[in-house]
Structure 1
Amino acid sequence: MSDTYAARAWLAAADPDPAHAELWLTYTGVALMPLGTNWSAVRVQERQGLRVASLNGPAIHDGPARAVYFLVPTEADWPGGMGELLGGPSCWLGVPAPERVEPPGIYWLTPPDGSGLLVDPVALLAALCEDGADR
């Protein structure tokens, strides 16, 4: 199984209707996915997110919104102040297909590999704090 196939299956599995999500990923390159079920997301300002995007785990760049989204575990504890934790029944995120790794539009800075690996929120917070101290 290729990483792209596994990643697509992993992404689609987060949707209440995985077949529907797969269709959107295939035909539009983006699917609207619920947050707080299989993962949550931390949204940070574009400049800071791009500077710390080398962390392990999936990260999405949304150039039009000037934001970077890091996919984190649903049980992540986030202190606020350094980005915003998004999750819960009313939160959805436009998620690009795993092969979408460059603009235009939203794309993966680090695509998922299908293994379920998420960004460690402790490492993300440390990187953001360190980056803020450097500014």
Structure 2
Amino acid sequence: MALPTRLTATYEAGNAWLADSSAHPELTRGLWDADALAPIPSGDVWLVAESRLVTGMPALQRIYADQRGPVLADGDLDRAWWLVPLEAAEELADVRELKVHPAGWSLLCPAMNSYVNGRFWLNRPDGSGLLTDPAGLAAAFGPGGYRRPAEAFG
């Protein structure tokens, strides 16, 4: 069954953005065409913050959509990987539930519409370049979750 046009366009935009984040976009696309995971190193466009999936799923729901970037999950390994801005490591350093990997660490990624070796996108890249806001992510793992400041409501 074919995907709806809007969904196909979103997947294509997300795949293009993610592949272009790698040093070898054509190799990445080739691996995806073969239903394989593609290693994409962090550090040029984003860093990776890792959490347990079991705690990451509720945290994802606590982050507002406009602050929520791509999140890759692996149910077999109980892992979630959050794509965060390059400057996020310092802001997330004190969050016990998160480990920020250094630049150059490779994340094994499936294509947007794929489930490969237990990996799937909880929150897919949409091609816009939106990354998870580190303050929102840190607060989502804290007690009570993230709450916008009163000034945000006008």
- Could you report, residue by residue, the CA deviation over 1:72-102 in whole angstroms, capped at 9, with x for unpaired residues? 011212224221001312x1111121113x6
In structure 2, what is the equivalent of residue 122 of structure 1?
135
In structure 2, what is the equivalent of residue 34 of structure 1?
41
Q: Distance in 2 between matches of 1:39 and 1:26?
A: 24
Gaps of 5+ in 1: none
Count of paired positions = 130
- Could you report, residue by residue, the CA deviation over 1:59-79 in whole angstroms, capped at 9, with x for unpaired residues? 111112211111101121222
In structure 2, what is the equivalent of residue 68 of structure 1?
80
- Could you report, residue by residue, the CA deviation over 1:18-61 in whole angstroms, capped at 9, with x for unpaired residues? 10011112212421110111111110112111111233211111
Q: Distance in 1 between matches of 2:139 and 2:84?
A: 14
Q: How many percent of aligned residue pairs carry the same amino acid?
A: 30
Aligned residue type for 2:134: P
In structure 2, what is the equivalent of residue 2 of structure 1?
9
TM-score, normalised relative to structure 1: 0.87
Q: 1:92 aligns with which of 99, 106, 110?
A: 106
Q: Indicate the structure (1 or 2) with the bigger Cα radius of gyration.
A: 2
Gaps of 5+ in 2: 1-7, 146-154
